[in-house]
Amino acid sequence: MKIGFIGLGNMGAPMATNLAKAGHEVTGFDTADVTIEGVTMASSAAEAASGRDVVITMLPNGKILRAVADEIIPAMAPGTGFVDCSTVDVESARAVAEKAAAAGLLPVDAPVSGGVGGAAGGTLTFMAGGSAEAFAKAEPLFGIMGQKAVHCGDPGAGQAAKICNNMILGATMIVTCEAFALADKLGLDRQKMFDVVSTSSGYSWSMNAYCPAPGIGPQSPADNDYKPGFAADLMLKDLRLSQQAAEAVDADTPLGQAAMRLYAQFVENEDGLGRDFSAMLPRFEKRSREGDK
Ligand code: NAD
């Protein structure tokens, strides 16, 4: 296939390289001056999008996605697949899909889980929203860039699945870190705590696969001085999107809201910026019930 790829950052670059390695002809565009293995660079987004079978975007946020979509939609022929893999607000995803469908394109919102490691290894999970026809057009590419793609429903359903998943992740990571800090103060050995919880009803991905305590459980960013991994500021972005969506549909999400506030405090007023989202554990270690010691 002829593929256009717009947004070649930490995630987009390895995803585009994997498509090129699989034999597809990939033309890329990024506002930053980047060189990507196997990818021919175009001089504008419209040029990267014109004459392709599928165009993929991997951009920072909904505002940028909307601007890029306005530029590329007129350049794409009817029947072209338009796959947005960025994490954006549900409203932007739906607005872009509507414009694209009106132009005869096949739009899919397909945010990913798996991070930079998953992008490089071709093991991402895609959560997709769009028509059956649009999903079918994108599916072979999901199989190259990832190991699993779930067709979640109509446009916006992929973004909805992503923010619900990450709201669960943010809240469970916080409570897992709280529990380790409480266990410390109760004199409970961390390894024993892991042995019990990871095989009991408190288990979760945060505890079992990404344990925030150094030297306990599988290798995780905690074993690498909390270098990301999944950065706390990206978790904050996703939690904000979850609360924006919850407000828009009048859903009561008290724990999601508390998680968003705590990550905002951690990233904006404490030392969380640039650290992994599991660095909540050293944060709680330093604190007393009243706040900072
Ligand atoms: P990034 O900032 O590294 O990459 C974004 C790229 O888009 C940059 O290279 C930037 O120059 C480019 N860009 C910005 N405006 C542009 C424009 N108008 N036209 C063309 N290019 C433009 O971010 P990333 O980590 O690659 O993340 C991309 C998306 O994936 C985000 O929506 C993020 O939330 C999501 N995501 C990231 C991760 C992760 O672990 N990094 C995991 C899952 C999802």
Q: What is the pTM of this model?
A: 0.94
Indicate the SS3 state at residue 225: coil
pLDDT on residue 292? 63
* Cα gap 49→15, rounded to integer Å: 17
Q: Are 197 and 175 in contact (CB under 8 A)?
A: no
Place of tokens 């893999």: 85
Q: What is the mean pLDDT of residues 150-172?
A: 98
Q: What pLDDT, in 10s, does the model give residues 165-216?
A: 999 999 999 999 999 999 999 999 999 999 999 999 999 999 999 999 999 9
Q: Residue 149, SS3? A: strand
Is residue 5 left, alpha or beta, with left meaning phi > 0 and alpha meaning psi from -120 to 50? beta
For residue 234, give the ligand 1 atom closest to its CA. Answer: 34
Is there a cis peptide before residue 229, judged by omega within 30 degrees of 0? yes
- Collect all residues with Cβ–Cβ distance below 8 Å to 136 and sequence separation of at least 6: none
How confident is the model over 131-143, as a mean pLDDT?
Answer: 98
Q: Is the pLDDT of residue 135 over 80?
A: yes
Listed in sequence order, the residues at least 6 apart from 148 whose beta carbon sits closer than 8 Å to its beta carbon are 125, 126
Q: Got the DSSP string for 156-167? A: THHHHHHHHHHH
Residues in CB range of 241: below 8 A, 6 or more apart = 87, 88, 89, 90, 159, 163
Mean pLDDT of 10-20: 97
In angstroms, the CA 95 to CA 55 distance is 17
Give the residue-averaged pLDDT of 46-54: 98
Distance 37 CA to ligand 1 centre (A): 18
Query: Residues near 123 by Cβ (< 8 Å), separated by ≥ 6?
Result: 114, 117, 146, 147
pLDDT confidence of residue 290: 81
Contacts of 247 (CB under 8 A, 6+ apart): none
Query: Tens digit of pLDDT for each residue in 92-125?
Result: 999 999 999 999 999 999 999 998 989 999 999 9
Please report, rounded to a whole number, the percentage of residues in the chain having pLDDT higher than 90: 96
In whole angstroms, what is the distance from residue 154 CA to residue 156 CA? 6
- Average the pLDDT over 46-56 and give the result: 98
116-129 in b/e form (b: 16+ CB < 10 A) is: bebbbebebbbbbb
Cα dist. 139→144, 187, 249, 253 in Å?
9, 51, 30, 33
Tell me: pLDDT of 149 over 80: yes
The count of other CB atoms within 10 Å of the CB of residue 250 is 6
Task: Compute, in angstroms, the gap from residue 61 CA to the centroid of ligand 1.
Answer: 8
Query: How many Cα neighbours within 13 Å face the side chain of 196?
Result: 9
pLDDT at 293 over 80: no
- Per the residue annotation, which of 162, 185, 192, 237 is the catalytic one? 162
Q: Is residue 262 predicted with pLDDT exceeding 90?
A: yes
Tens of pLDDT, residues 58-88: 999 999 999 999 999 999 999 999 999 999 9
Q: Mean of the per-residue pLDDT values for the chain?
A: 97
Mean pLDDT, to the nearest integer, of 266-280? 97
Ligand 1 pocket test, candidate residues 39, 47, 58, most atoms within 8 A of CB: 58
Which residue, by CA, sits nearest to atom 11 of ligand 1? 32
